[in-house]
Amino acid sequence: MFLFRRGAARVTPAQARQRTTDGDAVLLDVRELAEWNAGHAPGAVHAPLSRLLTGTALPTAAQDRPLVVICRSGHRSQRAAGLLTGRGAEAVDVKGGMNAWVTAGLPVVDERGSSGRIA
């Protein structure tokens, strides 16, 4: 069974923001629920890597769309992007993850839509 393809394309946080705000791609956050609840990019869709590894389908909002995959530092998202590409999805990884997203000055919200933080 093919679970991980090395070398998935990577984009910067600014490129990720551009691709997802233009409406052609979905920002897919693969962190666990507690991390997501503490802070995530506005408009992102949540699908933890732990669930993707079990074969769980993508959320409806992320199906049949190009995916820009993000986690905290870029390691899990790189793995997820490879996994999803192996399943036939168009997926790229955000280099540096949410840590780089915050460093780039991009917005983060919590589960209530208030200003969030990266846990």
Do the Cβ atoms of 38 and 118 come closer than 8 Å?
Answer: yes
Tell me what pLDDT residue 23 has.
76
Tell me what pLDDT residue 31 has.
98
Q: What is the pLDDT along the chain (119 residues), one digit of tens a residue?
A: 334 445 579 999 999 999 999 878 999 999 999 999 999 999 999 999 999 999 999 999 999 999 999 999 999 999 999 999 999 999 999 999 999 999 999 999 998 989 999 98
Model confidence over 58-85: pLDDT tens digits? 999 999 999 999 999 999 999 999 999 9
72 lies in some domain:
yes
108 lies in some domain:
no
> Domain holding 30: CATH number?
3.40.250.10
119 lies in some domain:
no
41 lies in some domain:
yes
Count of the separate structural domains present in the chain: 1
Full residue range of the structural domain in which residue 62 is found: 10-103
Catalytic residue among 30, 71, 89, 91: 71
118 lies in some domain:
no
Q: Is 71 a catalytic residue?
A: yes
Do the Cβ atoms of 63 and 79 come closer than 8 Å?
Answer: no
